[in-house]
Chains A and B, each alone.
Chain A
C-alpha cells in the first residue's frame, strides 16, 4: 500500500449550500467577465470597452434584442427538454440529430407544398417537426428500455445518421431543381414561413413557443406527478422503484419530450429564420443546449436565462469582430471560460479544498 503525495485534495462537504448551487452560474459569469477583461487588457484592448461591445452593444437596438431572441429560441426549447430528462438521469446527448430530423420532417412538408399556400401549412409543419424529433428520440428510448443500451451512445450516434440523411437529401432528391446543382433546397412558400412578431425583424412565433415550453416545463417539474417521479428517480432510483414508479415509462416520457422539443426547434429554425433546407441547418444548437441546461441548473426558468446568455455570447462575438476587429475565436474563448468556471464553482460547492494529505490512520480506521 503506497501513500500518494498530494498537496491539495478535495473533501466532500456534508451538505452543499443551496444558495450557492443557484449562485454558481452567476459566479461563473462574473469570473468569466473578469478573466476576459484581463485577456482584453493583455491583447491591448480597453477591457471596459470590450466588455461593453460584447455584452451591451449587441442588444442596444431593437434589431439586436430580436436577434437575441431568435438565436436563443432553439437553445431554450432544446434546453428545457434536455433539463427534464437530465433530472431523471436520462442522458439524451443527441438533440442535434433530433433537431435535424424535426427540421426535415417539417421542411419536407414545406417542399411538398412549395407552390401552393395554405394557412394550415405552418401548424402542420410545426406538428410534423415535433413528431420528427420525437420519433428520432424514440429509437434510443426503445433500445434502452428493451435492450438496456446506453442512451448517451445511441442518441449521439443517431445524430451523425441524421446529419447524413440531411446531407443526402440536400445533395439529392430535395436539391433545388433550378439551383445549378448547389446543395440546398428551393425557397419555401411564403405561407410556410412562421409569422413575424415585429415587422422588419426576424422575431417570430417560435419565440412564443419557446416561452410556452419554459412555462410548461416548469409546471411539469414542480406541479405534476410526473415531475415528482422524475426527480425521485433521478436522485434515488431505488426509492423510486420501491414507490412503484415505472422507470421505463419515465425513460420514454423524458426522451420523447426532449426529442419533441428538439424537433420543434429544428422546424422553427427552418421556417422562422432560414426559409429553405440548407446543409448546415444548425450550428450545433443540440450540443450547446446541453451547456444551457446545466448552466440553467436543469430548471426551466434557469434554462431561459442561460439560453439568452449563451445567445448573447454569439451576438457579442459578431460585435467584437465588427466594431473591434477582434478574431472570431473570442466567442469560443468566452463560452469555454463560462463552462470551465461553472464546473469549477460546482466542484467547490460540493467539495472543499484541503491542503496536505489526509492522515493515513484515519483512512484505515474508516
Chain B
C-alpha cells in the first residue's frame, strides 16, 4: 500500500516534471526523424552526426531529440505530431517518404518550423525543403573510378529509379567516360535504401559480371565489405566508410549536414527563418570527399581535386552540354548547362549507358 502510494506520487511527479520542463525551457528544442537506425553508417548516421554537431555548436542554447526507424506510413505522422506537440520548435524530417506527413503536421502546428529533406512539397509557410548536390561528388568519383578500373566496368548498386539516383549514375558515367572512353557501367536495382543482405548480393553479382569498382546509392557498408573481400575497389556512401574496407575504400561522398542544421537552427532562434528550397553542394560544404586511398596515383588525386575545385568555382559543371539520352536525342545542347529543374526531374540515362531504367 505504502509502496503503491509512493509509486503513484513518483509517477505524478514525473508527469508534472515533463509538463514543467515544457513551460520552463529557455532552450530551443530541435527534433530529428530518421527512417533507419542511426547505426547504418550511411544516410541516417550522417544526419545524426549533423545533430550532434548542432548540439556541439550551440551548446546549452539547444536541446535535440531524435526518433529512429520511423516507417514512412501512418507512424511518421504520429511521431512528427508527437515532436511538434511536445514543444519542439524546429523539426527535421530526413527521408523522402515523410513529405506528406510533414506537410500535414506543419499545417496543424503553424508555430513550429519544419525542414524536410529531399522533398519538393512546401504546402504551408512553415515548411522548407533541403537536399545536397550529391551528383557533384559522383562527378569527382567518376574521374577516379574511370582511371582505377582495369576491366573498364563499374558496378553500381542502386536503390530506386528516382531522379536523384539516375542523376548520380549519369554523373558517374559521364565523368568516368571523359577519362576512359572504354568504360561501361552496370547497374543493379535493389529496391531498398537499407538492406545489407540485398546490397551485398547485388555487389557480388556485379563483381561476377566483371566489375572491379563498386559504387552504391544505398546506405549500408555491405557492398564495400564485399568489395574488400573480393579484392576489388569500392566507393563509400554518405559517410567515410574506410573502416569497413581499408583496401577497397577509394574515397566516399560524405553528406555533411552540420553547417545547414546549425544555420537553420540559428535562423529560427533569431527569427529570420524563411521558407526556401535549399540545394547545396561542394561550395557550401554540404557535400565533401572522404580522404583518398593511398593506392590512387597522385596524378589521379590531382585530377579529382581539380574537378572538385572546378565545380566550386563554376568552371566545371557535371551536366554541361552536349548531352544526349540513350535514344540519341539532345537533352542538353552544346554550350549549355543543365538547370536545376532539368536535374531535379532527370528520368533518362545518358547515351552510352546500357540497360533501361525500371518503370
Docked-complex contact A52 and B15, CB < 8 angstroms: yes
| Cα of A70 to Cα of B72 in the assembled complex, Å | 16
- CB closest chain-A residue, reference B11: A52
- Measured between C-beta atoms, what is the minimum distance from A167 to chain B in Å? 7
A 154-200 contacts with B by CB, 8 A: 167, 171-172, 180-184, 187, 200
- Give the B interface residue count (CB, 8 A): 42
Q: Which A residues touch B4, using CB under 8 A?
A: none
| Cα of A280 to Cα of B195 in the assembled complex, Å | 15
Partner of B347, one of A181, A283, A325, A328: A181
Q: Which B residues touch A171, using CB under 8 A?
A: 160-161, 191, 358-359
Q: Is A322 an interface residue (CB 8 A)?
A: yes
- CB closest chain-A residue, reference B66: A321
Flag the segment in B80-88, B170-178, B212-220, B307-315 that touches A. Answer: B80-88
| Cα of A362 to Cα of B352 in the assembled complex, Å | 81
Docked-complex contact B7 and A323, CB < 8 angstroms: no
| Cα of A62 to Cα of B180 in the assembled complex, Å | 63
- CB closest chain-B residue, reference A324: B65
Partner of A52, one of B10, B82, B160, B358: B10
Docked-complex contact A48 and B10, CB < 8 angstroms: yes
Q: Is B344 an interface residue (CB 8 A)?
A: yes
Q: Is A11 an interface residue (CB 8 A)?
A: no
- Measured between C-beta atoms, what is the minimum distance from B130 to chain A in Å? 16
| Cα of A223 to Cα of B283 in the assembled complex, Å | 73
Q: Which A residues touch B345, using CB under 8 A?
A: 180
Partner of A57, one of B15, B31, B74, B120: B15
- Measured between C-beta atoms, what is the minimum distance from B18 to chain A in Å? 6
Docked-complex contact A321 and B65, CB < 8 angstroms: yes
Docked-complex contact A322 and B163, CB < 8 angstroms: no
Given contacts A67-B78, A322-B82, is CB(A280)–CB(B14) below 8 Å? no
- Give the A interface residue count (CB, 8 A): 44
Q: Is B73 an interface residue (CB 8 A)?
A: yes
Q: Is B196 an interface residue (CB 8 A)?
A: no
- CB closest chain-B residue, reference A73: B74
Q: Is B162 an interface residue (CB 8 A)?
A: yes
Docked-complex contact A322 and B86, CB < 8 angstroms: yes
- CB closest chain-B residue, reference A63: B85
Which residues of A come within 8 Å of B, CB atoms? 48-49, 52-53, 56-57, 60-61, 63, 67, 70-71, 167, 171-172, 180-184, 187, 200, 202, 269, 273-276, 278-283, 314-315, 318-319, 321-323, 325, 327-328
Q: 17 A-B contacts, Cβ less than 8 Å apart? A: A52-B10, A52-B11, A52-B15, A53-B14, A61-B85, A67-B81, A71-B78, A171-B191, A180-B345, A187-B100, A269-B74, A282-B73, A283-B73, A318-B79, A321-B66, A322-B82, A322-B83
